[in-house]
Structure 1
């Protein structure tokens, strides 16, 4: 339908045409996946890094010197990235008692089968 064809007599047909166009646009918009926006990695200074990991500056400097914490150095200044610090923290997870017990039962079952198999051979 052309824009010039709209008159009072053609109004119902024009509205029907607009409704179908809107439905088609809505379908296309809903079908499209949301755009993936890449987040910029903004470097943090040592003060911000200390706040994120909850350690004092001397402790962080010691971790850097021992190469235990991910960091970057440009000139005399240290830089950190939040995602790397959070990954570093998550790598230090301690096992719960239930996890330790489950591992022990699993290992005991494997070792018990080996021992019983060897005992039956002799």
Structure 2
């Protein structure tokens, strides 16, 4: 409905139109979720990094020098982010004996099928 179409005769239609518009706006507002507030990534110093990963300062400095640990350097200071350190720790997970055994069985079965297939091909030649 156009704004210029409102007259005394069209007033009920105009009010109905406004009510439907308000209902639609209300639905959109109620449905919209509050956007998550991104957490600020605050850099931490080497002392805090040592506490998080459970290593001594010289060990952390060695890891930094060898570029094995995620870090940032600004001037003479080294900075870390806690989430990156925790991710770095989880990437170094050692496999359990069960995981190693199940992988070995899967690889053995694959190789066994491959060898049997090659053997059958050689027999057919």
Query: Does the pair score TM above 0.5?
Result: yes
| 1:46 corresponds to | 46
Root mean square deviation of aligned Cα: 1.6
Residues 68-121 of structure 1: per-residue CA shift (max 9 Å, x gap): 001111111100000110111111011111111111111011100111112222
5+ residue gaps, structure 1, are 1-24
Q: Select between 52-61 and 27-36 the one with higher mean Cα deviation.
A: 27-36
How does the TM-score come out when normalised to structure 1?
Answer: 0.73
Which 4+ residue blocks in structure 1 deviate beyond 3 angstroms? 27-30
Whole-angstrom distance in 1 between the partners of 2:52 and 2:72: 16
| 1:63 corresponds to | 63
Q: How many residues align?
A: 98
How does the TM-score come out when normalised to structure 2?
Answer: 0.72
Whole-angstrom distance in 2 between the partners of 1:31 and 1:110: 51
5+ residue gaps, structure 2, are 1-25
